[in-house]
Structure 1
Amino acid sequence: MNKSELIDAIAERADVPKAQAGRVIDALTDVVGDELADGSQVSLVGFGTFVVRERPARSGRNPRTGEAIQIAASRTPSFKAGKALKDRVN
């Protein structure tokens, strides 16, 4: 499912216009992104939690040349599914 299909499904289930559903999806992604950028987490009970994970610096290899390279530390967004979502999928 892509973004436009998600908007269509939400508009149908919530009985709202597609434009409004699109704005809600955009607002949700903006808010989650802003909170993660600030180092916070976003928890949706029954669905899951969006968190930022720290990845330490490490050494790696360039696959083309085999040369050793240093990979910088980074922060990456992560999602941990909640119990209700896991149960629904299984």
Structure 2
Amino acid sequence: MPTFEVLGLHFGISKTEANDTFHYWLEILRKVLPSSLLEQVEKHDSDYAIAIELLTEFQLIVDSMEQPRARPSEIRSKKVFFR
């Protein structure tokens, strides 16, 4: 995966070692940190239904504001190149 290649380059290790280290810590974090409400009740149908009903009472707001980035257009870059 390119993500592990980037991590490997960033930390000076191979992508395989980055992958192994990530999954090693992922297991530890899953044991230490509490699971989500859905993960806790997914094996019990009645509890799962109650959790879904509770979650529908909340409204999720996502901030997805885009910010403009200055990028030269293809025409401008060609004009500069051929001058």
Q: Per the shorter chain, which TM-score range?
A: 0.3 to 0.5
TM-score of the superposed pair, with normalisation by structure 2: 0.40
TM-score of the superposed pair, with normalisation by structure 1: 0.38
Who wins on radius of gyration, i.e. which is larger? 2
Larger strand proportion of the pair:
1
Q: Which has the higher contact order (CA 8 A, sep 6+)?
A: 1
Larger helix proportion of the pair:
2
